[in-house]
Amino acid sequence: MTYSIVARDPATGRFGIAVQSHYLGVGPVVPWLEAGVGAVATQASVNVSFGPIGLELLRAGRSAAEVVASLVAGDERPEIRQLGVVDATGRAAAHTGAECIPACGHLVGDGYTVQGNLLAADTCWPAMAAAYEAGLAAGEPLVERLLGAMEAAEREGGDVRGRQSAAIMIVAAEPQTAAWRGRLLDMRIEDHHDPVPELRRIVTLQLAYDLLGDEGDAAGGGRPVEERYAEARRMAPDAMELVFWRGVELAGAGDLDGARRELRIAFAAAPNWQATLEHLAEARREGITPELYAELINLT
């Protein structure tokens, strides 16, 4: 009832899963990932316990193949299950039960596995693999390769029942003291008539926001904030949240002309942004005082 890709990025060591299904809220069910440990996708007549148990086995040092074998051996109905696993070193393994509904199958590659069941055609998962490998050869980032694999499955017909929900998750390569710290991307479309394009839209929006984060890849790579902001605006031209807070940041740095320029854009988009600035001034937050507010709203 689902197709998915599980992968470890050979360049960064990060793990990612992308999935789509005609199922309400596929995101909380299929993808299970842990930074520095690995990733598990459990689907078909899904046994959700495969996710947490699979991660526990990976944490204990089991290989992807050993995890798949252990989960299948311990299940009462392995013939109706499907799963894909990638371990901490990038070894991949998968299982498609003999009674999964066709079209169904999987393909294991170097550092990734693709799988699907109840699909329109048996070309779906090979197309996903080809798209992922093409993206890898082209040097695309992991998030783009995962989305590209999903879009390839859609071009082959995807889920035979239609479309409903989709999700993508990426976690860090290094183990974390708290699991949430390693979660780099977690975006879900729970119910939508065309979830894969909608997933790409909100992922693009999130990537634009991430460009301006102090702990993101772009900041860590030393890219100037002006360059990152310009790219974020190109990616998400309607995201006035980015524009407003850039104006506030410029105001706090003493660049009133730059701040007015950005705030003028936000104020023109919606009056609530000027009200937001006024609230900041009343609370004297983010460096905005009533006196500075008075200077900033003089946009002439």
Question: For residue 144, what pLDDT band results from cuts at 50, 70 and 90?
Answer: very high
- Answer whether 34's CB lies under 8 Å from 58's CB: yes
Mean pLDDT of the chain: 96
pLDDT digits (tens, 9 = 90+) for 32-47: 999 999 999 999 999 9
Segment 175-212, tens digit of pLDDT = 998 878 899 999 999 999 999 999 999 999 999 999 99
pLDDT in the model for residue 220: 73
Q: Quote the tokens at residue 149.
A: 């694999």
Architecture per CATH, domain 2-211, reads as 4-Layer Sandwich (3.60)
Q: Which residues sit opposite 86 in a β-bridge?
A: 39, 92
- Domain boundaries for CATH 3.60.20.10 within the chain: 2-211
Distances (CA, A) of 237 to 99, 233, 240, 269: 48, 5, 8, 11
User: What is the helix (H) or strand (E) element at residue 264, kind and residue range?
Assistant: helix 256-269
**Arithmetic mean of pLDDT, 141-167:** 97
CA pair distance 93, 143, nearest whole angstrom? 21
Is-contact 119 158, C-beta < 8 A? Answer: yes
Residues 6+ apart with CB under 8 A from 283: none
pLDDT at 214 over 90: no
The per-residue pLDDT for range 217-241, each reduced to its tens digit, is: 877 788 999 999 999 999 999 999 9
Torsion of CA 17, 20, 21, 27, to 10 degrees: 50
pLDDT recorded at residue 179: 78
Which position has the token pair 């550092």?
111
Average confidence (pLDDT) over 158-187? 94
Q: How far is CA 267 from the centre of its chain?
A: 31
Can you tell me the mean pLDDT for 1-7? 94
> What Å distances lie between residue 96 and 147, 244, 289, CA to CA?
23, 49, 62
Q: What are the beta bridge partners of residue 44?
A: 81
User: pLDDT grade, residue 299 (50/70/90)?
Assistant: low
pTM: 0.95
3-state secondary structure 141-206: CHHHHHHHHHHHHHHCCCECCCCCEEEEEEECCCCCCCHHHHEEEEEEECCCCCHHHHHHHHHHHH
H/E element, 94: strand 92-96
Question: In terms of DSSP bridges, do strands 15-21 and 2-8 run parallel, antiparallel, or are they unpaired?
Answer: antiparallel
What is the DSSP pairing of strand 15-21 with strand 183-189?
unpaired
> In the block, which residue shows the tokens 């009133």?
256
The CA distance from 82 to 45, in Å, is: 8
